[in-house]
Amino acid sequence: MDFNIPENLKMMANTIRKFVERDLEPISQQVEEDDRIPEEIVQKMKELGLFGISIPEEYGGLGLGVLGECIAYEELSKTNLCFRTRVATNNGIGSQGIVIDGTEEQKRKYLPKIASGEWTACFALTEPDAGSDAAAIRTRAELKGDHWVINGRKHFITNGDIADVATVFAVTDPEKRARGGITAFIVERTFPGYHVGKIEKKMGLRGSHTAELVFEDCIVPRENVIGGDAMIGQGFKTAMKVLDKGRLTMGASAVGAAQKLLELSARYAKQRVQFGRPIAEFQAIRFMLADMATQIYAARNMVYHAAWLRDTTGAPVTKEAAMVKLFCTEMVNRVADMAVQIHGGMGYMKECPVERFYRDVRLMRIYEGTSEIQKLVISREVLKAFE
């Protein structure tokens, strides 16, 4: 077994670590207060190449495998998580529909702009009555001559407020629905009938926005069906493939955030004095640190192994990806809880970064597939082996 991380990925991790320490961490609290990332920081993210990590080299990205993407997210998640979220839709759910199932023309037209960060991409599947039950979407698309007309409402769309292009899922055959009746479209912000609706007020992840997208007789050219006419009705499969891939990178983000929480907690425990001693000398605190470190170790190795498996075999690793998302995101929530506990009253205060992490990581157990959905996926795969 070779557990060595390739040299170029290590260098990339170093670059991102430096960027986090020098440029992101110093403003992370400010971003939290302002609820927005300064434009010059987005510019630096573009220059570093952060928007195109997962996009193939021939379309202007870095073409890193899933392991590379995971290592990048692990580092990028050691600060305010909104920075990761800013680039994540371009590398992940916003672009992968086109990467996985798009036609050559679609890839050439859209991916370079997404990879450079010139355009922000988002993924519009969820609707008010279709969350975990994604097949229940009601947004309709009807073919009228040489274009499709989309009507409907998407909500909880990450980066929906700033996106220039969205992967939109709509029902094209109400009889068939998930079995051949849902189609994926590439919809540009400037297409007639595309509107950004309400921007949600959230528990955390300030600096990143979650918006409603409204389509009112939105005109989409016929060639913007992902994968072309042959893929009409195949959109639900595309959505599942995109989400499968994203589960691993979400796990990596959870590991990065948890590592940061462990570092903050260990530092604080060594410096905080109670009963005449640093609290790091008390067993109750030490055992929490040990639990955090052990869980992070297990989680990280899961992420790396599943990413390596996917990169070397090319298989979707559905079961492993769901396990990674489930375990890592639950893990980071336990770690965040312990971090707040170690910090005591200070951990509850807005000036303390663990307070922010505690709220921000809560979403990881919900978006891109809840923990419960992951368990359904895992159990289905487990039982398949005994059919």
Partner 1 sequence: MNIVVLLKQTPDTESVIRIAGDGRSIETQDIKWIINPYDEFAVEAALRLKEQHGGTVTIVSWGPQRVVESIRTALAMGADKGMLIDDEALEESDSLGIAKVLAAAVQELNPDIVLCGHRAVDYDHNQRGPMVAELLGWPHLPLAVSLECDGTTVKIERPVEGGKMVVESSLPAVVTMGGSHAVWNPRYASLPGIMKARKKPLDVKKLADLGLNPEECGSGAAKIRLVSLEMPPERKPGRIINGDLDTEGKAKELVRALREEAKVI
Residues 37-56 touching partner 1, rule: CB under 8 A, are 47-50, 53
Answer for the pair 307, 66: CB distance below 8 angstroms, yes or no. yes
Residue 73 in contact with partner 1, rule: CB under 8 A:
no
Residues in the chain: 387
CA dihedral 97, 242, 302, 280 (to 10 degrees): 90
Residue of 12, 220, 326, 378 that binds partner 1 (CB under 8 A)? 12
Of 19, 83, 123, 148, the residue at the interface with partner 1 (CB under 8 A) is: 19
Q: Which of 62, 82, 162, 331 binds partner 1 (CB under 8 A)?
A: 62
* Cα–Cα distance for residue pair 160/173, rounded to 1 Å: 26
| 220 binds partner 1, rule: CB under 8 A | no
Minimal distance, residue 79 CB to partner 1, in Å: 16
CA distance 322 to 300: 15
Verify binding: residue 8, partner 1, rule CB under 8 A: yes
Q: What is the C-alpha to C-alpha distance for residues 253 and 89, in angstroms, rounded to an integer?
A: 13
Contact 133, 120 (CB under 8 A): no
**Is 196 within 8 Å of 153 (Cβ atoms)?**
no
The CA-to-CA distance between both ends of the chain, in Å, stands at 32
How many residues bind partner 1 (CB under 8 A)? The answer is 18
Q: Kindly state whether residue 15 participates in binding partner 1, applying the rule CB under 8 A.
A: yes
| Touching partner 1, residues 124-143 (CB under 8 A) | none
* CA dist 237 → 100, 120, 259 (Å): 11, 23, 34
Instruction: Give yes or no: 368 in active site.
Output: yes
Shortest CB 260 distance to partner 1, Å: 16
Which range in 8-16, 153-161, 186-194, 311-319 contacts partner 1 by CB under 8 A?
A: 8-16
Q: Which amino acid is at 33?
A: E
Choosing from 10, 108, 195, 375, the residue that interacts with partner 1 (CB under 8 A) is: 10
Bridge partners of residue 141, in order along the sequence: 150
Nearest approach, Cβ of residue 357 and partner 1 (Å): 22
Q: Exactly one of 21, 368, 381, 387 is catalytic; which is it?
A: 368
Whole-angstrom CA distances from 250 to 167, 305, 323, 369 are: 19, 14, 11, 10
Q: Is 114 in the site for partner 1 (CB under 8 A)?
A: no
Residue 18 touching partner 1 (CB under 8 A):
yes
340 by DSSP, 3-state: which? Answer: helix
Select from 33, 34, 43, 57 the one that contacts partner 1 (CB under 8 A).
Answer: 57
> Near partner 1 by CB under 8 A, which window of 14-22, 141-149, 172-180, 332-340?
14-22
Write the CA distances from 109 to 90, 99, 104, 160, 241, integer angstroms: 15, 12, 9, 20, 21
Binding site for partner 1 (CB under 8 A): 7-8, 10-12, 14-15, 18-19, 47-50, 53, 57, 62-63, 72
Q: Catalytic residue positions?
A: 368
